[in-house]
């Protein structure tokens, strides 16, 4: 059995990105702030569809040294597709 879990997108402005996805009907269903890794994961789904097909937004926090944050241009903002499978072999 294969089940689609989510598609991951890297974002530089989580608030603006959330507004966009809310306009097309998705809502935030989970959020994890990972201080050790300096990133935030935000999971979105259509109403009543949590756990069925989600979008994962990954926001990498700005560097602590004040340097310019990484920009995701040229297709670098796509991260991965996630599937649950019974056995990977």
Give the tens place of pLDDT for each residue, 21-76.
999 999 999 999 999 999 999 999 999 999 999 999 999 999 888 888 888 877 78
Using alpha carbons only, how large is the chain's radius of gyration in Å? 14
> Where are the domains positioned within the chain?
2-85
Q: Give the DSSP letter of residue 35.
A: T
CA–CA–CA angle 60, 82, 50 (5° rounding):
85
Query: Residue 58's pLDDT is what?
Result: 96
Query: Residue 75's pLDDT is what?
Result: 75
Query: Residue 64's pLDDT is what?
Result: 86
Strands 2-11 and 54-60: parallel
CATH number of 2-85: 3.10.180.10
Q: What is the pTM of this model?
A: 0.88
User: What is the side-by-side order of every strand in the sheet holding 39-45?
Assistant: 27-34, 39-45, 54-60, 2-11, 78-85
């Amino acid at each position: 059995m294969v089940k689609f879990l989510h598609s991951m997108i890297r974002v530089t402005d989580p608030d603006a990105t959330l507004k966009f996805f809310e306009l097309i009907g998705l809502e935030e269903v989970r959020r994890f702030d990972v201080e050790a890794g300096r990133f935030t994961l935000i999971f979105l789904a259509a109403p009543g569809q949590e756990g069925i097909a989600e979008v994962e937004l990954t926001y990498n926090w700005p560097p602590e040294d004040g340097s310019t944050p990484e920009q995701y241009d040229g297709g670098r903002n796509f991260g991965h597709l996630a599937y649950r499978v019974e056995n990977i072999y």
